[in-house]
Amino acid sequence: MPSNEPYQIVPVASGAFSIYSREYDETFHPVVGPIAEAEALYVNQLRLRKRVAESNRPFVIWDVGLGAAANPLVVLNHLRDLHAKIIILSFDQTTVPLQFALDHAAQLGYLSSWRVELQTLLRQNEVMFEAGLLSVHWSLRLGDFPKLASGIEASHWPKPDAILFDAYSPATNPAMWTLPLFAQLFKLLSPERPCAMPTYSRSTMLRVGLMLAGFFVGVGHATGEKEETTIAANSLKLIEEPLDRRWLTRTRNSTSAEPMWEPVYRQAPLSAATLEKLSAHPQFG
């Protein structure tokens, strides 16, 4: 591959193929590959089939970090036999990785049957289609996500039932993992619409930041790469294994627990003020 190419198709440990970003020095969906990770982290953990089947209104998904579109496409594949309407809002700074994925669809495996829909999405930033019995309205918002989420338009986005949070890691993309961003995300949710947000990280600073932003937080399902991940929600009913006081005790002793207040990656123990706020979270009541 020419050295100036930003992405590369690479094999992962499971034998599947994924995409490597030269800029961020990270592989999308490492170890198990895009399909298996999306199934474990989002489809199964969010109990999407059950929740969509029981919903009496369009089910809204925010896809934060469209990348090569693996997460929403795997979700649609698992829901296509349901009589339901799905609204997807995808967010990213660029469509370059998705176009790259389409150019290598045969190797990646999960995009081939969606070429027409994805090409329309790339061309128009919006597409409506039928996927089996499923009715889908998929739109794309391009730009810096923290700025988009703080803008006037964000208050008019359809309120989500699920958020697929899949940004580059905190070390390489800290702006996507700050407490102020999570607090703004929480403000955009509807208390009348239970919403869960899994993500691949299990870091203590992430979990503390989510809790201080207003979320209930729990241990997330394992993926091939990690023994556990993280899930946050605006309803405790959507958390199977909430973090408990034993976790809080361990957090007091952690050297990397203070959430990021600014988009600069660093590690620090809890401040006294943060510990006081965290201890008062209703999850520990």
pLDDT (tens, 9 = 90+) of the chain, 285 residues, equals 445 789 999 999 888 999 999 999 999 988 888 999 999 999 999 999 999 999 999 999 999 999 999 999 999 999 999 999 999 999 999 999 999 999 999 999 999 899 999 999 999 999 999 999 999 999 999 999 999 999 999 999 999 999 999 999 999 999 999 999 999 999 999 999 999 999 999 999 999 999 999 999 999 988 766 789 999 999 999 999 999 999 999 999 999 999 999 999 999 999 999 999 999 999 998
Residue 217's H or E segment, with its range, is: strand 216-220
Q: Left, alpha or beta for 128 (phi > 0: left; psi -120 to 50: alpha)?
A: beta
Give the CATH number of the domain where residue 267 resides. 3.40.50.150
Q: Is residue 29 part of a domain?
A: no
Q: Is residue 151 part of a domain?
A: yes
Beta strands in 84-125 (DSSP E): 84-92
Q: Is residue 146 part of a domain?
A: yes
**Core vs surface per residue 163-196: b (16+ CB within 10 A) or e:** bbbbbbbbeebbbbbbbbbbeebbebbeeeebbb
**pLDDT at residue number 3:** 55
85, amino acid identity: K
Strand partners, 89: 62, 139
Q: Is residue 28 part of a domain?
A: no
> Minimal CA–CA distance to 18: which of 58, 62, 71?
71
Helix, strand, or coil here: 168? Answer: coil
Q: How many domains does the chain have?
A: 1
Q: Is residue 18 part of a domain?
A: no
**pLDDT at residue number 78:** 96
Helix, strand, or coil here: 272? Answer: helix
Range of the domain at 148: 35-284
Q: How many CB atoms lie within 10 A of CB 98?
A: 23
Distance from C-alpha of 6 to C-alpha of 210, rounded to nearest angstrom: 32
Q: Is residue 246 part of a domain?
A: yes
Q: Is residue 14 part of a domain?
A: no
Q: Is residue 11 part of a domain?
A: no
Helix, strand, or coil here: 9? Answer: strand
Q: Left, alpha or beta for 69 (phi > 0: left; psi -120 to 50: alpha)?
A: left
Burial (CB < 10 A; 0-12, 13-18, 19+), residue 247, is middle
Backbone angles phi, psi at 53, to 5 degrees: -60, -35
Residue 221 CA, chain-centre distance (Å), reads 14
Look up residue 14 and give its DSSP letter. Answer: T
**pLDDT at residue number 1:** 43
Question: Do 188 and 149 touch, CB atoms closer than 8 A?
Answer: yes
- pTM of this structure: 0.95
